[in-house]
């Protein structure tokens, strides 16, 4: 007999998962181990015969073969049925659950645990994989399980997988009428009476912008459906979290205590809180049941724990952009419009000569003024001067309230009457959106997966200590410090993997403009760290407000490179130029980056240390395995981003998002790169920075796949408009790998460099040197590519006339190995065979005698030695002499003493 066990007081998720399992395990039976929620009980009163349900008392324990438990991992939630785990005849114990972070005490042979909103979702997914169809009754109860446990997909633990499972169950015939009846059946008369009592005795406090309520209800006995009562209380009172306690006497000195917890506060973790008393559930919904002689200390501990979990809400200081772009009242409409265009702002703050805020002008105001022909008018005639302002300590809920009440799109932040920042509607929406994302899959039981303890486990201790020291030095100066870019991306990607993550390139950003930091904050922090880490070499790049600490083969940090920058924004004066940078905030610093997966930051300083900043959906793109650009004009401004995007796509096996691919095609087909090259002498993104990206790609093991993708996108045109990876060039590149493996066994050549020369040499001769100069290759490479066609013509003409090996040697030895390889790639098989024979055999044949041998034979040293040795080599190569004795006879005959 195969049994499926639901926990005591079974809910719809437990029942739905169990029904799904009966379809996966034909012949199995469902046992309700001890009662059910009132809606489940009422549902089964009508639908029990549709499912394979049996009573616990009807089970013969000796005939049980396997046990499968759904929606719990604790023995004590299975009543007396838990005794069956200890039977000798049990061959298999399987557990399915979705409550993460709980310690299981069931001796399971298999445990299926996943982060979904309902256990039933796991069954629905497996049924789909096996193409098993359901009856309407089966689909309905399973859909009820997902609806109830996810709040019809509104609870924070809901996932896209739950939505997909629900959609499939609807296709299978789930009855919406039945679901609507039992999903929210209303409160029983007893619960309605308790609701009135709870509303009269509910206590609450306001803490950090959130309202927490608690109430204790004393009854004569067990009350089913308390979870529905807790949900109703939250909805009626609009509080953010509640602890609903119910106690009734078991004896004169012992009580049964039930506590239901509900929370809508991001960052709280009721599951963790309730586990102390052997309860559990989800981060936002949990419960416990226990016997106690005094319930008040337990309730107080739960309440204190919940208070401690409530995060400090973001303030204007955390949200604002700073420093603020300002203009004077006399600034013209046209100039203000130009500034908006340059920096991508939606409005500008207007200040007087003393730096005091006097107004704000929006893009809409400017557009209207321009439409009416007032481009030369001063902005003071169009700005808004009836302003609502906030302080750096104004909280997010207060900011949101102001924006909604007064329909304001931006709020200036004033400190001591000076403008220190601005918070826009977009800033607020991003913060709220980010919270929604992190309440989804990135959370496990209410915590962000990538937090400081996990970061510490992923990095080697010495690197972790370096980051800790850096954050402490930043905090001393009143700054924030963030780990940004690729390191954050790689930590998220490595989240599910075990072992230490090797990171040799770290980017840190200092954001301190809200307090005391100056433009050189990043440089100052780097200098402070260099005083502590004497082995590090310090490099400062003043133009970009950055510094770097470099270790070379350090016994602890190996060859580590740490870039430290002050948070900044940037502007490209023309396409493919180096950007002009200005000090800014961490938000604007992330906004200037290339792809969403590289635009995340992990805060290292307190408070809110470990907070992950993801304003652009980078985490979701990591989950979706896609490369998405931040800005529509990003590729026009910097073509190297195309190469970086391809490199990341191939390296991580991601797809380039469709809109991003469209932006790539538009940038390439627009001709902007040709125009900017003609109009500007310096285009670093098509010169040195492009060479750097090519180096990264051509060094990687996946370089051929990356070239294919670049060609598919038309991006090889960035090297030269005529470059295409056709079948012939692809053949030559494959041949090049064989050449390197055969002719350069000592690794004397730089592989990425010769691969790049092979690409350039495929161009017409008149383009090669120009492209090499543009990419600023070394002088020998430029000369080689410039002369390649002449040398190739000579070899193709003369090599077929070489009847003897010596003739081939004297023709080819004038040229270096890279030149001969490049010529071999583009030559016929006959020519290539001779070059290969020269490189593999003849080039390694020395003369049988040396200069010392000639001296011992009585020949006086003279320039004639060279001719004698060459003649000996010729005779050796052509088989005329085979050993030293014959060599001496050869000299005696041709060079008598």
pLDDT digits (tens, 9 = 90+) for 713-729: 999 999 999 999 999 99
Q: What is the pLDDT of residue 808?
A: 92
Q: Does 530 score more than 70 pLDDT? A: yes
Instruction: Find the mean pLDDT for residues 497-526.
Output: 73
Instruction: Find the mean pLDDT for residues 352-375.
Output: 90
- Please enumerate in sequence order all residues whose Cβ is within 8 A of that of 326, keeping only pairs 6 or more positions apart, or say none: 348, 349, 350, 351, 419
Judged by average pLDDT, the poorest of 108-122, 180-194, 725-739 is: 180-194
Q: What is the pLDDT of residue 517?
A: 44
| DSSP symbols for 380-431 | GGTSB-S---B-TT-BHHHHHHHHHHHT-SEEEEEETTEEEEEEEHHHHHHH
Per-residue pLDDT band for 590 (boundaries 50, 70, 90) equals: confident
Per-residue pLDDT band for 438 (boundaries 50, 70, 90) equals: very low
- Say what angle helices 640-652 and 703-712 make with each other, to 10 degrees: 130
- Map residue 651 onto helix, strand or coil: helix
What single DSSP character describes residue 614? Answer: -
Per-residue pLDDT band for 477 (boundaries 50, 70, 90) equals: confident
Q: What is the pLDDT of residue 556?
A: 84
Q: What is the pLDDT of residue 434?
A: 60
Per-residue pLDDT band for 449 (boundaries 50, 70, 90) equals: very low
The sign one gets for the Cα dihedral 298, 302, 305, 307 is negative
Question: What residues are paired with 562 via a beta bridge?
Answer: 506, 549
Instruction: Find the mean pLDDT for residues 633-639.
Output: 88
pLDDT digits (tens, 9 = 90+) for 113-149: 998 999 999 999 999 999 999 999 999 999 999 999 9
Q: What is the pLDDT of residue 209?
A: 79
Judged by average pLDDT, the poorest of 64-68, 578-582, 730-734 is: 578-582
Q: Are strands 66-70 and 92-97 parallel, antiparallel or unpaired?
A: parallel
Q: What is the pLDDT of residue 492?
A: 84
Q: What is the pLDDT of residue 815?
A: 94
Judged by average pLDDT, the poorest of 168-177, 603-612, 848-857, 873-882 is: 603-612
What's the half-sphere exposure (Cβ side, CA atoms, 13 Å) at 574?
A: 14
More confident residue, 445 or 640: 640
Per-residue pLDDT band for 443 (boundaries 50, 70, 90) equals: very low
> What pTM does this model have?
0.66
Q: What is the pLDDT of residue 214?
A: 95
- Report CA dihedral (600, 604, 607, 611) to the nearest 10 degrees: 30
More confident residue, 491 or 514: 491
The sign one gets for the Cα dihedral 117, 498, 590, 416 is positive
More confident residue, 4 or 448: 4
Q: What is the pLDDT of residue 497?
A: 59
Per-residue pLDDT band for 52 (boundaries 50, 70, 90) equals: very high
Candidates 507, 514, 517; CA nearest to 476 is: 517
Q: What is the pLDDT of residue 582?
A: 59
Instruction: Find the mean pLDDT for residues 79-95.
Output: 94
Q: What is the pLDDT of residue 284?
A: 86
How many of the other CB atoms lie within 10 Å of CB of 123?
A: 26
Instruction: Find the mean pLDDT for residues 659-675.
Output: 90
Mean of pLDDT over the chain: 88
More confident residue, 307 or 568: 307
Q: What is the pLDDT of residue 410?
A: 86
Q: What is the pLDDT of residue 822?
A: 95
Per-residue pLDDT band for 847 (boundaries 50, 70, 90) equals: confident
Per-residue pLDDT band for 455 (boundaries 50, 70, 90) equals: low
Q: What is the pLDDT of residue 580?
A: 58
- Map residue 188 onto helix, strand or coil: coil
Q: What is the C-alpha to C-alpha distance for residues 880 and 897, in angstroms, rounded to an integer?
A: 21
- Please enumerate in sequence order all residues whose Cβ is within 8 A of that of 608, keeping only pairs 6 or more positions apart, or say none: 311, 312, 318
Q: What is the pLDDT of residue 629?
A: 94
Q: What is the pLDDT of residue 440?
A: 38
pLDDT digits (tens, 9 = 90+) for 792-846: 999 999 999 999 999 999 999 999 999 999 999 999 999 999 999 999 889 888 8
Q: What is the C-alpha to C-alpha distance for residues 247 and 392, in angstroms, rounded to an integer?
A: 46
Q: Does 313 score more than 90 pLDDT? A: no
Q: Are strands 568-571 and 537-541 parallel, antiparallel or unpaired?
A: unpaired
Q: What is the C-alpha to C-alpha distance for residues 83 and 88, in angstroms, rounded to an integer?
A: 11
Q: What is the C-alpha to C-alpha distance for residues 454 and 442, in angstroms, rounded to an integer?
A: 13
Q: Does 448 score more than 50 pLDDT? A: no
Percent of the chain surpassing pLDDT 70: 93
What's the half-sphere exposure (Cβ side, CA atoms, 13 Å) at 864?
A: 11
Per-residue pLDDT band for 756 (boundaries 50, 70, 90) equals: very high
The sign one gets for the Cα dihedral 491, 493, 498, 499 is negative
Q: What is the C-alpha to C-alpha distance for residues 726 and 732, in angstroms, rounded to an integer?
A: 10
- Please enumerate in sequence order all residues whose Cβ is within 8 A of that of 582, keeping only pairs 6 or more positions apart, or say none: 568, 569, 570, 571
Instruction: Find the mean pLDDT for residues 365-392.
Output: 91
Instruction: Find the mean pLDDT for residues 358-382.
Output: 92
Q: How many helices (H) and strands (E) are present in the chain, helices listed first?
A: 37, 30
Q: What is the pLDDT of residue 460?
A: 80
Q: Does 27 score more than 80 pLDDT? A: yes
Percent of the chain surpassing pLDDT 90: 53
Q: What is the pLDDT of residue 461?
A: 83
């Amino acid at each position: 007999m195969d049994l499926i066990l639901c926990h005591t007081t079974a809910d719809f998720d437990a029942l739905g998962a169990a029904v799904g399992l009966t379809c996966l395990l034909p012949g199995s039976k469902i046992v309700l181990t001890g009662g059910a929620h009132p809606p489940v009980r009422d549902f089964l009163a009508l639908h029990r015969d549709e499912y394979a349900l049996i009573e616990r008392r009807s089970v013969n324990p000796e005939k049980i073969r396997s046990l499968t438990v759904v929606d719990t991992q604790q023995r004590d939630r299975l009543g007396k049925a838990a005794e069956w785990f200890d039977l000798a005849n049990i061959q298999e114990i399987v557990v399915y659950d979705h409550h993460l972070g709980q310690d299981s005490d069931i001796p399971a042979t298999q445990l299926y645990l996943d982060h979904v909103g309902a256990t039933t979702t796991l069954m629905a997914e497996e049924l789909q994989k096996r193409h098993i169809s359901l009856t309407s009754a089966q689909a309905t109860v399973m859909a009820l399980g997902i609806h109830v446990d996810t709040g019809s997909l509104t609870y924070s633990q809901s996932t896209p997988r739950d939505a997909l499972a629900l959609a499939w169950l609807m296709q299978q015939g789930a009855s919406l009428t039945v679901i609507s009846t039992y999903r929210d059946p209303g409160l029983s008369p007893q619960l309605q009476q308790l609701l009135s009592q709870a509303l009269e005795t509910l206590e609450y406090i306001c803490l950090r912008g959130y309202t927490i309520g608690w109430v204790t209800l004393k009854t004569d006995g067990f009350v089913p459906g308390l979870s529905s009562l807790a949900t109703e209380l939250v909805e009626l009172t609009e509080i953010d979290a509640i602890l609903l306690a119910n106690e009734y006497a078991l004896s004169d000195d012992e009580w049964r205590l039930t506590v239901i917890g509900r929370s809508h506060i991001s960052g709280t973790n009721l599951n963790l809180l309730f586990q102390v008393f052997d309860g559990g559930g989800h981060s936002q919904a949990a419960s416990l049941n226990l016997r106690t002689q005094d319930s008040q200390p337990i309730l107080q501990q739960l309440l204190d724990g919940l208070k401690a979990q409530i995060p400090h809400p973001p303030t204007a200081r955390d949200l604002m952009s700073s420093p603020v772009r300002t203009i004077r009242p006399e600034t013209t409409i046209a100039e203000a419009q130009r500034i908006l265009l340059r920096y991508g702002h939606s409005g500008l703050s207007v200040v007087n000569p003393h730096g005091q805020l006097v107004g704000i002008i929006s893009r809409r105001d400017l557009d209207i003024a321009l439409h009416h022909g007032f481009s030369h008018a001063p902005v003071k005639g169009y700005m808004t001067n009836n302003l609502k302002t906030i302080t750096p300590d104004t909280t997010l809920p207060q900011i949101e309230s102001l924006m909604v009440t007064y329909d304001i799109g931006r709020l200036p932040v004033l400190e001591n009457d000076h403008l220190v920042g601005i918070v826009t509607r977009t800033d607020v929406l991003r913060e709220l959106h980010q919270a929604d994302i992190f309440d989804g899959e990135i959370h496990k039981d209410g915590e962000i997966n990538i937090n400081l303890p996990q970061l510490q486990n992923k990095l080697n201790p010495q690197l972790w200590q370096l980051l800790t020291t850096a954050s402490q030095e930043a905090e001393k100066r009143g700054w924030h410090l963030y780990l940004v870019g690729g390191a954050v991306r790689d930590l998220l990607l490595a989240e599910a993997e075990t072992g230490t993550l090797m990171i040799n390139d770290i980017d840190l950003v200092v954001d301190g403009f809200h307090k005391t930091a100056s433009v050189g904050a990043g440089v100052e922090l780097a200098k402070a760290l260099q005083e502590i880490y004497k082995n590090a070499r310090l490099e400062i790049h003043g133009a970009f407000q950055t510094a770097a600490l470099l270790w070379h083969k350090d016994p602890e940090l190996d060859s580590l490179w740490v870039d430290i920058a002050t948070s900044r924004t940037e502007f490209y004066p023309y396409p493919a130029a180096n950007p002009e940078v200005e000090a800014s905030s961490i938000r604007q610093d992330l906004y200037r980056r290339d792809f969403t997966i590289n635009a995340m930051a992990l805060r290292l300083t307190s408070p809110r240390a470990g907070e992950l900043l993801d304003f652009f959906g980078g985490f979701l793109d990591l989950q979706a395995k896609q490369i998405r650009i931040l800005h529509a004009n990003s590729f026009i401004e910097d073509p190297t981003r195309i190469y970086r995007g391809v490199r990341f796509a191939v390296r991580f096996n991601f797809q380039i998002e469709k809109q991003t691919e469209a932006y790539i095609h538009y940038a390439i087909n627009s001709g902007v790169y040709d125009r900017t090259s003609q109009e500007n002498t310096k285009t670093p993104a098509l010169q040195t920075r492009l060479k750097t990206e090519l180096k990264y790609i051509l060094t990687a093991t996946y370089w051929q796949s990356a070239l294919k993708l670049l060609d598919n996108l038309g991006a090889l045109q960035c090297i030269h408009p005529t470059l295409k990876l056709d079948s012939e060039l692809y053949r030559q590149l494959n041949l090049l790998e064989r050449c390197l493996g055969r002719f350069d066994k000592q690794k004397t050549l730089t592989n990425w460099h010769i691969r790049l020369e092979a690409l350039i040499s495929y161009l017409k001769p008149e383009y090669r040197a120009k492209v090499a100069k543009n990419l600023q290759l070394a002088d020998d490479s430029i000369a080689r590519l410039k002369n390649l066609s002449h040398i190739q013509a000579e070899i193709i003409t003369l090599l077929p006339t070489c009847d003897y090996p010596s003739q081939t040697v004297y023709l080819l030895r004038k040229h270096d190995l890279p030149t001969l390889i490049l010529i071999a790639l583009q030559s016929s098989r006959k020519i290539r065979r001779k070059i290969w024979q020269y490189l593999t055999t003849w080039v390694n044949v020395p003369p049988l005698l040396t200069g010392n041998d000639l001296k011992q034979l009585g020949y006086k040293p003279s320039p004639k030695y060279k001719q004698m040795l060459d003649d000996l080599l010729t005779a050796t190569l052509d088989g005329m002499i085979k050993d030293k004795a014959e060599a001496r006879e050869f000299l005696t005959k041709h060079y008598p003493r």
